[in-house]
């Protein structure tokens, strides 16, 4: 994928699962990748593995439920690589409890909504407004 080489991708939820697979594929396609996850240890491990494979990656501990944390992710990505070309608002969780859905606590549902819905909203608000204006200026 020549059009991806040298570009920058940001992936939330990048320490495991689909996010890790996205980050790995983007790196394999020659992209610079900013990996974000709320759990620092697996994030650091994933970053170390990708770097040892020769990829240009940065890890940023990020809580997508916090607008300020997502804005700090954006700032770190722009500081490291100047632009962001691809944003994968991938972080996601289940409702947080085992068992029947009607037995879950409301706090479980609030947490799931905060990550799965507001995490995406925070990503859009932080990245699209800032990074799209940067891209528009660069192509003008």
Mapped onto helix, strand or coil, the DSSP state of residue 30 is coil
Exposed e or buried b per residue across 12-25, where buried means at least 16 C-beta atoms within 10 angstroms of its C-beta: bbbbeeebbebbbe
Q: What is the DSSP string of 125-136?
A: IIIIHHHHHHHH
Render pLDDT for 35-89 as a digit per residue (tens, 0 to 9).
999 999 999 999 999 999 999 999 999 999 999 999 999 999 999 999 999 999 9
Q: Are 24 and 48 within 8 A, CB to CB? A: no
Q: What is the DSSP string of 51-66?
A: HHTT--EEEEE--TT-
Burial class (CB in 10 A: 0-12, 13-18, 19+), 127: buried
Render pLDDT for 81-130 as a digit per residue (tens, 0 to 9).
999 999 999 999 986 667 787 888 888 889 999 999 999 999 999 999 77
What is the pTM (predicted TM-score) of this model? 0.89
């Amino acid at each position: 994928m020549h059009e991806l080489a040298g570009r920058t991708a940001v992936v939330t939820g990048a320490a495991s699962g689909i996010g890790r697979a996205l980050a790995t594929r983007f790196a394999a396609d020659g992209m610079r990748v900013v990996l974000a996850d709320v759990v620092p240890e697996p994030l650091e491990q994933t970053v170390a593995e990708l770097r040892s494979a020769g990829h240009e990656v940065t890890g940023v501990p990020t809580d997508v439920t916090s607008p300020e944390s997502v804005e700090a992710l954006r700032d770190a990505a722009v500081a490291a690589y100047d632009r962001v070309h691809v944003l994968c608002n991938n972080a996601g969780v289940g409702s947080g409890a085992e068992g029947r859905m009607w037995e879950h606590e409301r706090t479980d549902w609030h947490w799931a909504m905060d990550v799965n819905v507001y995490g995406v909203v925070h990503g859009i608000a932080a990245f699209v407004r800032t990074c799209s204006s940067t891209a528009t200026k660069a192509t003008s």
